[in-house]
Chains A and B, each alone.
Chain A
Amino acid sequence: MTDASVAQASPGTGHGHAEHRHLLSVQDLGRSGIEEILRLTDTFVEVSSRAIPKAPALRGKTVVSLFYEDSTRTRLSFETAAKRLSADTMTFSVGTSSVKKGESVRDTVETIDAMGIDAVVVRHGSAGVPWQVAQWLGGRVSVINGGDGWHEHPTQALLDCYTIREHLGGNDTDFTGLRIAIVGDIKHSRVARSDVLAYSALGAEVTLVAPPTLLPPSLVGWPVRVSHDLDDVLGEVDVVGLLRMQQERMGEALVPSLREYTHRYGLTAGRLGRLADKAIVMHPGPMNRGVEISAEAATSARSVILDQVRNGVAVRMAVLYLLVGSGVSLT
């Protein structure tokens, strides 16, 4: 693979430690990097379908999950991916750790590093923590952003791209002409930020659908169109990606009620019927059934939500392989 595919030093990581590469932002990848990961993912989908879904590519490597936020699917997905590549895995969850005793992120990270590790997947509620971790570790360890605050969730965007390609693109990673709507709480969504970057890098037309209160305050530089009316865009999109509508947003006066939100922006059974023939429905999970997505939509033939989860493992295998793989043949 080329240097362009995964950044050696992302903006902010500063001083050009080139020993280990990171995946901090979709922006680090660019189009060619995304395409490379999607192609490699095919191989790992095949590996995952074997009777014994294991490859020795990361034998002797240690991958740590450092999760400062509760997460079931992302953490399990990364750990499954690492194990299928024969890596040793360690999990560091905040609930049971020294963080409860007041340890700083930096001290925790340096402690884990001292044990001798190859990659760390960082999930944190504050934007930018994976950049800080990459800076502190000075290139000794590959840092993978497992979701930082409202900012980014690059592997989610990669698995979303893979899933769209699987259903709509055949083997083609060119999304030109594809129309994708991302619906819901864009403002607070790291998934939306990474998806916008990835979809548009591959050439798709992205429309953000949300009430103005759930959009970022500024969309300067975002390659998107905006709509405040889901019904307006419903018939003309190939992909509807829904975002979780969080109950706690009610307290911030961002929408008057979940009832009104669902009425205006929920993918109800009625709206499901108005989608174009081949259109697919996506959701990063966890779903709020009956709020942003109806049970009918979640379980319909258009729903590719479980494919997203399935592909997540293979995509993360590809990312780990590229960043820390030992070069062992996969076949």
Chain B
Amino acid sequence: MTASIVIKGGRVLDQTGERVADVVVEGGRIAAIGPDLSGSTTIDAGGCVVAPGLVDVHTHLRQPGREEAETVQTGGRAAALGGYTCIVAMPNTEPSIDCASVVKDVLLLGRDSACDVRASAAITVGRAGERLTEMAELADLGVRIFTDDGNGVQDDRLMRRAMEYAGGLGIVLAQHCENEALSVGGHMHEGEWSSRLGIPGQPAEAEELMVMRDIALARLTGATVHFQHLSTAGSIAMVRAAKAGGMAVSAEATPHHFTLTHAACASYDPVFKVNPPLRADADVAAVKAGLGDGSLDAIATDHAPHAPELKELPFDQAPPGMLGLETALALALSELELPLAEVLALLSWRPAAIAGVTDAHGGLLEPGRPANLCVIDPNATWTVDAARLASKARNTPYDGRQVRGRVRHTFLRGEPVVLDAEAQV
């Protein structure tokens, strides 16, 4: 007989609603949900919310190639501590995830992880923007999201072909929207602060032009298109209009784009360098509004670890990117004035749908489903401490910030991978 765990006394919250109930986990699955249940082990969830695990459609795990910054193992642990039970690894590794062997490699590494690691794959070979990857073969291996993330596909005709070809495969084309002819040489948002600080900027329009193009190409081809890390008011307005017109587009935004602005770059600390860059106040307001009104479907972390020495370079030489997995939920709860159920929709079931993992993640808590859960104390306040993060890297822009909302426990396939905010694997 297998051991069972009962998660007692929490508010069970999924996309169908909320009720106070105990949850019994057994054999990797949810065995029962109801009042006064028992199991061989009891985990207290009093004052907490029991929810489907979070899903991140945008994680950089740096393996293979940059294991000094992060590995599938360390990134998976950081994810579990952040309440995630599923993360999608971005393909800008070295080598890139652009062929079957690298996909298999990453999936194999993910088997021992504290989180369900899915691989995305590149749209173009080597993310070089020149020829398409063997998408059908990669889709057969379970790849659902294709992206050249880190770069956008610049060539209009190639992007059209990618969208057409993807049509028959049930996959999602995700775009890092950046017109490089306009953004080239830019290290922060072009505007008031870049002008004052003497840091070359990239205009909001560099993002918006590609959003505009891809909406047009999606209309032409009927492809399912997902917009990654949207950061400008203009981009969000275009996606809102496209959705209103009935198009099958989805979009994500990151916590840093609803919590920080380009003013942070005045410190010249490259920890605030990220791509797309931190924008203006009006853009932050637009991201928040977009998350509230459904124009943006998901919060994605764009978790981008970098070794410390790289973030000590001069601002215009440092690589862009910030950590995100361990702070996303708390930032959403602290900064978004949305009901908890809405925040969880943005962090769990809507991204689960984009990633195509609703069979195991997000959505519903009901008997028989895989027990991928997180237990959240929505009112616990804590202070982000870069030195205590599980990620290998330390490049969080939130060091010292007080936030609200803490993940107490995370269950992956029924296993408690996080207990009392401590990683168990």
Contact = CB atoms under 8 A, between A and B. Distances in A.
Chain A partners chain B: yes
Interface stretch (B79-87, B104-112, B187-195, B246-254): B187-195
Interface string B290-319: 000000000000000000010011111100
Contacts of B245: none
A220 B263 CA distance: 13
Given A126-B317, A131-B268, A149 B198 contact: yes
A222 B191 CA distance: 13
Contacts of B196: 193, 216, 221-222
A195 interface: no
B192 A126 contact: no
Contact of B314 (A12, A129, A221): A129
A221 B191 CA distance: 11
A149 B316 contact: yes
A53 B310 CA distance: 45
Interface in A135-154: 148-152
A222 B266 CA distance: 16
A126 B314 contact: yes
B198 A124 contact: no
A128 B192 contact: no
Given A128-B268, A150-B200, A218 B195 contact: yes
Contact of B192 (A131, A151, A221): A221
Interface in B236-279: 266-269
B238 to A, nearest CB: 22
A218, A219, A221: residue with the most chain B Cβ atoms closer than 10 Å: A218
A220 B195 CA distance: 9
Contacts of A217: 190-191, 194-195, 201, 203
Interface residues of B, number: 23
Contacts of A104: 309, 312-313
A132, A148, A152: residue with the most chain B Cβ atoms closer than 10 Å: A132
B268 A219 contact: no
B169 interface: no
B139 to A, nearest CB: 42
A21 interface: no
Interface residues of A, number: 27
A247 B170 CA distance: 52
B249 to A, nearest CB: 30
B197 interface: yes
A190 interface: yes
A222 B196 CA distance: 8
A127 B316 contact: yes
B199 interface: yes
B268 A132 contact: yes
B195 A219 contact: yes
B198 A193 contact: yes
Interface in A171-223: 190, 193, 216-222
Contacts of B267: 11-12, 14, 131
B192, B268, B309: residue with the most chain A Cβ atoms closer than 10 Å: B268
A77 B190 CA distance: 34
A226 interface: no
Contacts, number: 75
Contacts of B194: 216-218
Interface string A115-139: 0000000001011110110000000
Interface string A66-108: 0000000000000000000000000000000000000011100
B51 to A, nearest CB: 38
B316 A126 contact: yes
B234 to A, nearest CB: 16
A220 B198 contact: no
Contacts of B266: 11-12
Nearest to A216: B195
B197 A128 contact: yes
Nearest to A136: B312
Contacts of A220: 191-192, 195
Contacts of A124: 314
Nearest to B191: A218
Nearest to A152: B198
B199 A128 contact: yes
Contacts of A106: 312
Interface string B312-349: 11111100000000000000000000000000000000
B198 A190 contact: yes
A104 B200 CA distance: 22
Contacts of B199: 127-128, 149-151
Contacts of B197: 127-128, 151
A68 B392 CA distance: 31
Contacts of B316: 126-127, 149
A227 B190 CA distance: 22
Contacts of A132: 268-269, 312, 314
Nearest to A148: B198
A220 B266 CA distance: 15
A127 B268 contact: yes
Contacts of A128: 197, 199, 268, 314-315
Interface string A14-47: 1000000000000000000000000000000000
Contacts of B312: 104-106, 132
A225 B50 CA distance: 59
A17 to B, nearest CB: 15
Contacts of A148: 198
Contacts of A150: 198-200
Nearest to B315: A128
7 closest residue pairs by CB, A with B: A128-B268, A151-B198, A126-B314, A216-B195, A150-B198, A12-B267, A127-B198
Given A128-B197, A217-B191, 20 more contacts: A11-B266, A105-B312, A106-B312, A126-B317, A127-B315, A129-B314, A131-B267, A131-B268, A132-B268, A132-B314, A150-B200, A151-B199, A216-B194, A217-B190, A218-B191, A219-B195, A220-B192, A220-B195, A221-B192, A221-B196
Interface of B: 190-192, 194-201, 203, 266-269, 309, 312-317
21 contacts: A11-B266, A12-B268, A14-B267, A105-B312, A124-B314, A126-B316, A127-B198, A127-B314, A132-B312, A148-B198, A150-B199, A150-B200, A151-B197, A151-B198, A216-B195, A217-B194, A217-B203, A218-B192, A218-B194, A220-B192, A222-B195
